[in-house]
Structure 1
């Protein structure tokens, strides 16, 4: 009996719904494994459909086609290593998240996911049926146990596999990024190796789908949590992982040990990857955005250039009579440093025309937020016209602080198809701009060096919708606001708990109210890159109509 086993790992980027394209990627990985003498090639969870599919998996014709694709893949990959690949499995009136083992031209077995996650962005209890704990399967000399993603976070599944004869654990995942997620994964997987005494392969996909980015960072552990291999985060990688059998059982042979970037770089990479994949997978080759001369639009412009290249980014300055010369100069400098096109569309004339058209209805009323919002909506109208005419997707540029309290105009500056900074609080935007000025990586398509002038970062934020306007006219300083928001949103703290951190109670109550009354805006807002486990959309689902206010 052989004492060596080669497992080829495909840390790859599928596209939701692209059954043929995902199958072609799988065949490519299998061919590389075959050429390298692999015994088995493994791909992540639900790879053939892409992940997450959400309610698309409830469409019977889609599931039938996915299963047909997997059976054809088995026939195509008959002469060579076994292939493990995630995909749906329908049987009778049941639907499972399954891991298909294809061997010798046939479906050798299917592993059914047992533990269905039903928190944060996951709704698997709604979509799938719970499968039994599947036993191990044999590939050549090795018996492999496959707990699918969430299954490996639970000791009972892995211990059952070990007790039924598994010699290694192969964990296929569709595990999306949030800040600090990697350390949580490692902690749980180390625990599984300690409890079972088995080597463990944690195989994760890469790429972005809607708001979620899968960061890869595949790793292999030997018993008791000893790291054997660590693959890079975010990159597509094919890796041939060897195992050897000795007196104490199977052990992973030491492989590469990639060093993962820090949280600042990971967040920025997520925003770039999310935008790049959103455009590629939806068919947009170019984007545009309103470049105001402020920090939020500047960082979005930098993300866009790093994702798509300067030639595919159009920046537009849309000044009114309230726009300062400094803002005009700053926008021009950002565009120059990034190397992208800057157009100008003046809105003073259209604003005057709209104001005149409404004058007979507004007679006797003082100017207020209404007139400010007209300017923002004229900018949105103009940008959407450019988007329609030139086929460029409009990016919106509101940070999480603004999105949280509704400091944005619906159908105005909220117009757009994607928001890269939707899950980044304003105070973090400042530091991210400084990080990007000081750092450049090979995966960035933009230039190295300073791309956001320091004066853009340092000047007081303003929407410039009226004379001498500053954000702090309407909002507390962002250092204060963001701490309150993080407590109320990310930690679901009570008002009393937030006040206990030293904040004024009336201010906390005001912020709480702004969060709740802005829900309808968020419901209609563009998707954006998820950076935290409390992002707006699937992570945090609040009613639009809501009279609850914390009485404490």
Structure 2
């Protein structure tokens, strides 16, 4: 399910739609993701009484739509002891109970301890056919957490996990390794239900899946799109396997000594006659295909969920704006994307040709605004004040800001969302102009290093050659003065991106980075630029997170900061 934070009525309608689908298929149990009614993360909306009140009202309304099927649904629970991140247990038109999340993540992009109280009890539902244990997201990551307690002390044969687990590169493989381990430890089926969709900087990749008691995937939903997964569980095989498993008795005795509490909820599910289901296992995307899919979904949902119909991109003839344009077209359709070319006297003949060719291949008319006269009017206005001063970055930045101004004017006039085309290498080092090429409502490549930009462009061209070959081959340049090249000012992107990854994502010190074989002079230069550019990043647009540690929610450094790592 792809919920929208705060769109309670819309989320309610989606939930009811899936309830009716599952009832038509005569399902026994229907599982929804974590906080699917509110959307995730609702952040400080959780401090609003009206928001909580409407959520509770709609939850009660959902319960009246549920018949003999068991529905397990993620929502908030305002209790006497505080607010809980909960799973509502619904059956026969009533809310039968709640499970409250016990392990609250408070790291990386998560702030759950700011809002929620920890649950203290595990929950097992006895449905007659089997016993089902409930966990929510972080709970299932704990080796000796609620899943093991519910399996050993509560007798659960199925562990259900409600999730809103955000994407980063390689996350699904890490998840599945953990889920396999948890299924083996508990000797249970693990039913993992995850949200899908974009929410501000986060992308949720879906891939809801079921693991059997042998740690093997028996079913997996699609990634990066909504999917409805129906699975038949072979409980007789699980029971035979458990009888031969000797470790459970020893572990049960160990857990029993800890006085852990497990609530038991009895719900009688009627036996139903229905056709058997062929469990399907969708493939996991990887590499450039995985990242590209995340970016397309992130753009599509940010534009749609924020009420925009069209997006506008300033194209320069460079790789970043070309890739951003193609992603936008794949996300929104060519009819909803506008391309604006703003050349100056420093724009090369090749760039002019490449932009027009990109426009032709994408089938989008090009809006062209020459900034030459506008730039000259700035210089004339500043001539007396700048007298005696040499041309420097000031004049370069004026050009970038003219372009940013024009894009924002078009945005204001036509309600087009400006998609920023800056990449992670530029945002990291501050190689971008505040209120210029950093302008925009959403930054598509904000967490994508320059080297990966090329990989993504090559991947997309392997499907259909929409990006002109010369754009991929020419050296990157801002073209704000004659004979300008990025690498003459910064250094080779292959090494820069390694430094950024080590310094930002792995938190390595400059000395540790040098020990990895990177030149000290370049390491010192890039890490200092990263530290000094925090003020710029704070003023930049939000953008899609694809790495384990992105700028923004993941990495919170002070702007006023005199500490320099060695």
TM-score (norm 1): 0.94
Counterpart in 2 of 1:445?
A: none
For residues 84-104 of structure 1, the C-alpha deviation after alignment (integer angstroms, 9 at most, x for no partner) is 110100112411000001112
**Structure-1 residue corresponding to 2:148:** 159
CA contact (8 A) 1:168 1:250 kept: no
Aligned position for 1:384: 408
Q: Name the residue aligned to 2:74.
A: 86
| Deviation digits for residues 29-87 of structure 1 (CA, Å, limit 9, x no counterpart) | 1101111111221110000001111121122221121111101111122x331221101
Matched, 1:333 2:322: no
Aligned partner of 1:515 in structure 2 is: 530
- The worse-fitting range, judged by mean Cα deviation, of 402-411 and 218-227 is 218-227
Following superposition, the deviation at residue 248 of structure 1 comes to 4.2
User: What is the match of residue 260 of structure 1?
Assistant: 284
Structure 2 distance, partners of 1:486, 1:236, is 31
SS in 2 for 1:70: helix
Does the Cα contact within 8 Å between 1:206 and 1:213 map onto a contact in 2? yes
Using the alignment, how far apart are the partners of 1:71 and 1:42 within structure 2? 17
Deviates more, 1:407-416 or 1:261-270: 261-270
- Alpha-carbon distance between aligned partners in 1 of 2:341 and 2:198, rounded to the nearest angstrom: 30
Query: Any residues of structure 2 matched to 1:87-486 within 5 Å, and which?
Result: 87-156=75-144, 157-162=146-151, 163-246=153-236, 248-249=238-239, 255-439=279-463, 449-486=464-501
The answer to whether the Cα contact below 8 Å between 1:89 and 1:96 also exists between their aligned partners in 2 is yes
Specify every segment of 5 or more residues in structure 2 that has no aligned partner in the other structure, as ranges: 242-275
Rounded Cα–Cα distance in structure 2 between residues aligned with 1:535 and 1:418: 15
SS in 1 for 2:135: coil
Please state how far the C-alpha of 1:504 moved relative to its aligned partner: 2.3
Secondary structure of the residue aligned to 2:191 is: strand
Query: Residue 542 of structure 2 is aligned with which of 522, 527, 538?
Result: 527
- What RMSD, in angstroms, separates the aligned Cα atoms of the two structures? 1.4
Match of 2:260 in 1: none
Task: Give the Cα–Cα distance (whole angstroms) in 2 for the partners of residues 140 and 331 of structure 1.
Answer: 65
Q: 3-state DSSP class of the match of 1:147?
A: strand
Change (3 A) 1:247 1:304: closer
- TM-score, normalisation: structure 2: 0.92
2:82 aligned with 1:67, yes or no? no
Deviation at 1:16, TM superposition (A): 0.7
Moved more, 499-508 or 518-527: 499-508
Counterpart-to-counterpart distance in 2, 1:39 and 1:505: 62
Instruction: Confirm or deny: 8 A CA contact 2:425 2:496 kept in the other structure.
Output: yes
Once residues 316 and 45 of structure 1 are traced to their aligned partners in structure 2, the CA distance between those partners, rounded to angstroms, is 41
SS in 1 for 2:118: coil
1:240-276, Cα deviation, whole Å (9 max, x unpaired): 2222432642999861011122221110011000000
Query: Which deviations, in whole Å up to 9, do the C-alpha atoms of 1:435-486 show, x marking residues without a partner?
Result: 10002xxxxxxxxx20111110110110010111111221001111111111
Measured after TM superposition, the shift of residue 417 of structure 1 is: 0.5
In the aligned structure 2, how far is the partner of 1:293 from the partner of 1:76? Answer: 54
1:193-213 C-alpha deviation (Å, 9 max, x unpaired): 111111111111111101111
